[in-house]
């Protein structure tokens, strides 16, 4: 089965996830500045990179569907999604570096944090991330007439019928964002109840490193596909 037979369901799910992500991103960034929480800002901007990645993912699906069967593409339109994933990984790397810089500045120049509001929004962000993951995991892969559910962004990579790299990249973006939300909640709770305020910028640094590691991994994977490397 070719990848275009799998993308219709993924395209619809991606649009739903974009809406959820954008709403949560704006809430976290705004409250991050209001509450002076670097961990919350890191989570918000991290989610912003995922929103961009998801928009690129959705755009790639639209273009793939629009030009399906077109003779303008010698080898078909499958690599449109790979290009989208590669582009989003570059933005992801930039954001990771920016978050690390901002977190270091907060270590050198600490600000008072409004923990109650920050914790509330961070928890809401985590809930949204979890909902998004559940939606994305409800992907369906078809194989010789059989239907397989919960294949988590096509984790069956040995099967060419279940390779949607565009969707897989989006899935791991959201998964990484959920982990960053957990880090933010942990740092804020430690600051509120244990008065360990230095954990907030430290978690921001860790979040930035996580973003950089993910971006490097995604760049490597997409480049191999784009240059047809084994």
| pLDDT (average), residues 21-27 | 86
How high does pLDDT run on average in the chain? Answer: 76
pLDDT at residue 91 is higher than 70: yes
Rounded to an integer, what distance in angstroms lies between the CA atom of residue 41 and that of residue 27? 10
Q: What pLDDT, on a 0 to 100 scale, did the predictor assign at position 149?
A: 42
DSSP string, 59-86: HHHHHHHHTTT-TT-TT-STHHHHHHHH
Q: What pLDDT, on a 0 to 100 scale, did the predictor assign at position 144?
A: 39
More confident residue, 159 or 92: 92
pLDDT at residue 76 is higher than 80: no
Rounded to an integer, what distance in angstroms lies between the CA atom of residue 42 and that of residue 180? 8
pLDDT at residue 141 is higher than 50: no
| Percent above pLDDT 90 for the chain | 0
Q: What pLDDT, on a 0 to 100 scale, did the predictor assign at position 207?
A: 81
Phi, psi (5° rounding) for residue 147?
Answer: -115, 130
Rounded to an integer, what distance in angstroms lies between the CA atom of residue 213 and that of residue 225? 19
Domains and CATH numbers, the chain: 3-226 (1.20.1510)
Q: What pLDDT, on a 0 to 100 scale, did the predictor assign at position 74?
A: 65
Which of 99-103, 129-133, 158-162 shows the lowest per-residue confidence on average (mean pLDDT)? 158-162
Q: Please write the tens of the pLDDT for every residue from 149-181.
A: 444 444 444 444 346 777 877 887 787 778 777
């Amino acid at each position: 089965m070719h990848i275009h037979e799998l993308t219709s369901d993924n395209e619809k799910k991606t649009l739903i996830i974009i809406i959820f992500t954008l709403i949560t991103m704006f809430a976290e960034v705004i409250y991050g500045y209001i509450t002076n929480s670097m961990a919350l800002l890191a989570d918000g901007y991290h989610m912003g990179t995922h929103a961009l990645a998801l928009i690129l993912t959705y755009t790639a699906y639209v273009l793939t569907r629009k030009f399906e069967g077109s003779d303008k593409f010698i080898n078909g339109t499958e690599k449109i999604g790979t290009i989208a994933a590669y582009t989003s990984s570059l933005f992801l790397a930039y954001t990771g570096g920016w978050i690390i810089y901002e977190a270091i500045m907060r270590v050198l120049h600490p600000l008072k944090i409004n923990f109650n509001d920050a914790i509330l929004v961070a928890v809401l962000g985590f809930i949204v991330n979890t909902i998004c993951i559940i939606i994305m995991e409800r992907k369906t892969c078809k194989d010789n007439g059989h239907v397989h559910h919960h294949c988590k962004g096509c984790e069956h990579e040995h099967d060419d019928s279940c390779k949607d790299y565009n969707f897989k990249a989006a899935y791991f973006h959201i998964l990484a964002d959920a982990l960053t939300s957990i880090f933010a909640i942990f740092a804020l709770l430690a600051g509120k109840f244990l008065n360990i305020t230095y954990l907030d910028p430290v978690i921001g640094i860790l979040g930035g490193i996580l973003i950089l590691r993910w971006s490097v991994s995604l760049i490597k994977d997409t480049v191999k596909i784009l240059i047809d490397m084994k």
